[in-house]
Amino acid sequence: MVKRACKDCKRILKGTTCPVCKTSNITTSFQGVIVIFDVESDVAKKLGITAPGKYAIKV
């Protein structure tokens, strides 16, 4: 299965539409993956992530 990343929110997804920001602006070209469990962590705050999930580091 091809993994895709949303170019707007950087969330890793399986379909062709981002379930978070409802956009179809996606790509298969991304580097690195980070998994956020706690949105209050320093890493999540620095990256601007507000919801737990899998995110691409560089899109």
Which domains are delineated in the chain? 4-58 (2.20.28.90)
Q: Which segments of 1-58 are extended strands (E)?
A: 4-6, 12-13, 26-27, 31-36, 53-58
Name the β-bridge partners of 6.
26
**Per-residue pLDDT reduced to its tens digit, 1-59:** 789 999 999 999 988 999 889 999 999 999 999 999 999 999 999 999 999 999 999 99
Residue 2 pLDDT: 84
Residue 35 pLDDT: 97
Residue 25 pLDDT: 95
